A and B are shown apart, each in its own frame.
Chain A
Amino acid sequence: MALERITAVTGQAVYVPGNDIDTDRIIPARFMKCVTFDGLGEYLFYDVRKDADGNDRAHPLNDERFKAATVLFSGANFGCGSSREHAPQAIQKYGFRGIVAENFAEIFFGNCTTLGIPCAVATRADIAKVAAAVEADPTIEVSIDVEAQVVRHGADSVPAEIRGSARDALLNGRWDAIAELHEGVPEVQTVASSLPYMAT
């Protein structure tokens, strides 16, 4: 199962400010009543994007200038809360290909990597710098360079770290681990047979 090598994601960007943006905010629980992930994209950030009557509120994702964005910028502790993969799935299905934040919640980060969504960590000042450039010109090309660990915006760039194992997995087309895990099944059986509780 050959996977794409993700060396960079490039496109327009949008900045959704805020810290501790949790998974309930990213995808409210009521939209998880589904047996597939199809269609989750339209509910991304639903309760902050829409009012009680379903009309648009002021939100960066409702701003026409950022409708084509494929790179998402945000604050600290992005994706905290639930382990629901519905959150990164909604982000991906909405059209985002990469995320830049000050840091990420653990489970969310792993879920994103498994879907081939690079999660890059940049400083607040650097995120603000890119956000300002995007605000000034929403059509500016923004790129998360996984290889070089920088975020390029127009002619400028800022450092953006992607944790070692995730970076390796993205660059080498191993972000979905299933094929490699499956190769290890004979060894899995051996380890399992050494554990009494798994013998039953």
Chain B
Amino acid sequence: MAKSLFEKVWDAHAVRTLANGQTQLLIGTHLIHEVTSPQAFGMLRDLNLPVLMPTRTFATVDHIVPTDQFVEPYADPLAQAMMDELRKNCADNNVTFFDRESGKQGIVHIVGPEQGITQPGTTIACGDSHTSTHGAFGAIAFGIGTTQIRDVLATQTMALGKLKVRQVEVNGQLRPGVYAKDVILHVIAQLGVNGGTGYAYEFAGTLFESFTMEQRMTVCNMSIEGGARVGYVNPDQTTVDYLKGRPYSPTGADWDAAVERWLGFASDADCSYDDVVVINAADIAPSITWGINPGQGISIDQSIPDAEIATSDDEKASIIEALEYMKLTPGAPIKGTPINVAFLGSCTNGRLSDFQEVAKFMAGRKVADGIKAIAVPGSQIVAAQCAKEGIDKVLSEAGFEWRAAGCSMCLAMNPDKLIGDQLCASSSNRNFKGRQGSTTGRTVLMSPLMVAAAAVTGQIADVREVFDVSSN
């Protein structure tokens, strides 16, 4: 019977059916970080259980690391305590830890792929909702809670109900100035922030086929913002080429066998889906959020919505709440809204290609007066690649503070925070109230080049008017 990738990977990892009807699913690869794992190790100690397969868990530190301080102890003793706890838990349990001294540290969803740990046809879990990122490789990757981290550490499995699969098919080519980030913001605005609940999203169609791995990761990363716990792209030659020669990729004869197996996980052409949505890539414009959830998005040339457009009382209440929090005027163009901060980075858009694209257009340009602009590479390897290409210099000369790798101002668990009601043009993934570290701080999500355009002009701007993207 024809199967989707989701079904193939699920079936290959299903251990048995549990008494309540859920599946005991084998989690081949487990990624951990400092925020959600310490309590799980504590639970293991309480139960007196060992880590079942220590070689299948990989750790890094990302959420709390200061991006302007490398030497420990960190200024924040709580951050240092979390760092120490992770280091100790990894050492005690023989878990590989990509610590800052390794030169391989970074945001967990950037480290896994660049090390070649993330592979097609695998199951991956991590105590972080953006684990869906790894689906870009044709893996089934789940964000999990801490008790489930304990389950995976102790049994390399977790209890799960099978998801339905919705194919999100996007065909055609993107217009100049439109990026992978715009695609996923568009999809979420179309399908809603909870439209994907109960589904895995299969991103298919000629657009995703033409995408690089980094573009695919940006899209899969934000699946959860549309309610879909899992998002994936079928593995193809692009996937294989990316993985060739990575530290954890198979080698020699194992490589050839792995490639054959990987490609075999792709959805069968005649498989059925629980739902199919088709979008035309040419309909997607540079996209931007105006509200307090990632589904409250519009294209850059649209106006800030008025509550009167609401089709339900709910939507109306939610628009009013968002406008009040964001201090935006309904009916006014979003373009021209003054910004205070520009943030480049995060597991959504903190990869080499994101910085390359920004650097290409920022050469010779300056961040506007009074704007705080920070650029935070997603990993130490991304930072090193940027240094090699001189990207760090270009951005520094343009007025961006070039920082060390981490999650940084995406969720502000480190010292990088908004102050008061500052408005941040951000390449991150969530615009929830208070998300960037100030209880009144305002986040506007957009693509990295849109962040650059906002930084240069000091206001929310159309990337196509600020930079010459036509030749891109």
CB neighbours (8 Å) of A89 from chain B are: 146
Does A200 lie at the interface of the complex (its beta carbon under 8 Å from any beta carbon of B)? yes
In the complex, what's the smallest C-beta–C-beta distance from A86 to chain B, in angstroms?
Answer: 8
B20–A182 touching, CB < 8 Å: no
C-alpha gap A32/B76 in the complex (Å): 13
Q: Are B145 and A85 in contact (CB under 8 A)?
A: yes
B430 at interface by CB-CB < 8 Å = yes
Whether A93 sits at the interface, judged by CB under 8 Å, is no
- Distance between Cα atoms of A96 and B373 in the complex (Å): 42
Q: Which of B8-38 contact A (CB under 8 A)?
A: 12-16, 18-22, 24, 26, 28-29, 35-36, 38
CB-contacts of A78-127 with B (<8 A): 80-86, 88-89, 103, 105-107, 110-111, 114-115
Report B64-115 residues with CB < 8 Å from chain A CB: 64, 76, 78-79, 81-82, 85
Within 8 A of A (CB), among B27-75: 28-29, 35-36, 38-39, 42, 47, 49, 52-53, 55-56, 63-64
B22 contact set on A, CB distance < 8 A? 165, 169, 177
Given A114-B148, A181-B151, A107–B229 Cβ distance below 8 Å? Answer: yes
B157 proximal to A (CB < 8 A): yes
Chain A residues whose C-beta falls within 8 Å of the C-beta of B250 in the assembled complex? 196-197
Contact A168 B21 (CB under 8 A): yes
Roughly how many angstroms separate A89 CA and B18 CA in the complex, as a whole number? 25
| Residue contact B143 to A83, C-beta cutoff 8 Å | yes
Kindly state whether residue A62 has any CB partner on chain B within 8 Å.
Answer: no
- Residues of B close to A77: CB separation below 8 A: 193-194, 197, 227
Given A30-B437, A35-B85, A182-B49, the answer on whether A106 and B197 have CB atoms closer than 8 Å is: yes
Pairwise interchain contact B154-A182, C-beta atoms closer than 8 A: yes
A64 located at the interface, meaning its Cβ lies under 8 Å from any Cβ of chain B in the complex:
no
By the criterion CB–CB under 8 Å, are B318 and A110 in contact? no
B368 at the interface (CB under 8 A from A): no
Instruction: Given A33-B413, A191-B13, decide whether A168 and B19 contact each other with a Cβ distance below 8 A.
Output: yes
- CB distance A36 to B145 under 8 Å? no
Is B241 in contact with chain A by the CB < 8 A criterion? no
Please state if A177 and B28 are interface contacts (CB–CB under 8 Å).
Answer: no
Q: Pick the contact of A35: B39, B52, B119, B434 (CB < 8 A).
A: B39
B residues 129-151 with Cβ under 8 Å of A?
129, 131, 143-148, 150-151
Task: Give residues 26-73 of A contacting B (CB, 8 Å).
Answer: 28-30, 32-37, 47, 52
Which of B151, B193, B412, B437 touches A20 (beta carbons < 8 Å)? Answer: B193
Known: A35-B81, A35-B85, A110-B148. A22 touches B293 (CB 8 A): yes
Among B12, B159, B411, point to the contact of A180 (Cβ < 8 A): B159
**Contacting pair B229 A37 (CB below 8 A):** no
Encode contact with B along A166-183: 1 for CB under 8 Å, 0 otherwise: 101100101011101110
Give Cα distance in the complex from A105 to B144, angstroms. 12
Q: Does A13 contact B (CB under 8 A)?
A: no
A2 at the B interface (CB under 8 A): no
Contacts of B21 in A (CB 8 A): 164-165, 168
B387 contacts A by Cβ under 8 Å:
no
Interface size band for A: 35 or more
User: How many contacts A-B (CB < 8 Å)?
Assistant: 214
Cβ-defined contact, A83 with B128, below 8 A? yes
Query: Looking at the complex, which one of A52, A85, A174, A200 makes contact with B36 (CB distance below 8 Å)?
Result: A85
Question: Which B residues between 250 and 276 are near A, CB-CB below 8 angstroms?
Answer: 250, 254, 257-258, 261
CB pair A22–B145 under 8 Å, yes or no, is no
Does residue B465 face the partner (Cβ distance < 8 Å to A)?
no
The CB with the most chain A CB atoms within 10 A, among B24, B56, B119, B229, is that of B24
B194 — which chain A residues lie within 8 A by C-beta? 20, 76-77, 80, 103, 105
B5 to chain A, nearest CB (A): 16
A112 (CB) vs chain B CBs: closest residue: B145
Whether a CB of chain B sits under 8 angstroms from the CB of A7 is no
Q: Which residues of B contact A184 (CB under 8 A)?
A: 15-16, 24, 155, 157
A33-B413, A81-B430 in contact; A177/B314 too (CB < 8 A)?
Answer: no
A111 to B227, CA, bound (A): 15
Least CB distance from B130 to A in Å reads 9
Complex Cα distance, B150 from A45, in Å, reads 26
* With known contacts A20-B293, A34-B78, A35-B85, A176–B39 Cβ distance under 8 A: no
Taking a contact as CB atoms under 8 Å apart, the answer to whether B197 and A32 are in contact is no
What separation, in Å, do the CA atoms of A89 and B43 have in the docked complex?
14
Which chain A residues lie closer than 8 Å to B159 at the CB level? 177, 180-181
B147 adjacent to A114 (CB under 8 Å) = yes
CB distance from A14 to the nearest CB of B (A): 19
B439 within 8 A of A: yes
- Which residue of chain A has its CB nearest to the CB of B119? A197
Q: Report the Cα distance A94→B32, complex, angstroms.
A: 27
Which chain B residues border A194 with CB–CB below 8 Å? 12
Provided the pairs A83-B143, A107-B144, A198-B28 are in contact, do residues A35 and B42 lie with their beta carbons within 8 angstroms? yes
Nearest 5 interchain pairs by C-beta: A85-B145, A111-B145, A83-B143, A168-B20, A33-B78
The 24 listed contacts between A and B (C-beta, < 8 Å) are A20-B293, A22-B432, A30-B412, A30-B413, A32-B413, A33-B413, A34-B78, A37-B39, A77-B193, A77-B197, A77-B227, A81-B432, A82-B143, A85-B36, A103-B197, A164-B20, A168-B20, A178-B151, A195-B28, A196-B257, A197-B119, A197-B122, A198-B28, A198-B53
List residues of chain B with CB under 8 Å of any chain A CB. 12-16, 18-22, 24, 26, 28-29, 35-36, 38-39, 42, 47, 49, 52-53, 55-56, 63-64, 76, 78-79, 81-82, 85, 119, 121-122, 127-129, 131, 143-148, 150-151, 154-161, 193-194, 197-198, 224, 227, 229, 250, 254, 257-258, 261, 293, 314, 317-318, 321, 411-413, 430, 432-435, 437, 439-440
Residue ranges of A at the interface with B (Cβ–Cβ < 8 Å) = 18-20, 22, 24-25, 28-30, 32-37, 47, 52, 75-77, 80-86, 88-89, 103, 105-107, 110-111, 114-115, 164-166, 168-169, 172, 174, 176-178, 180-182, 184-185, 187-188, 191-192, 194-198, 200
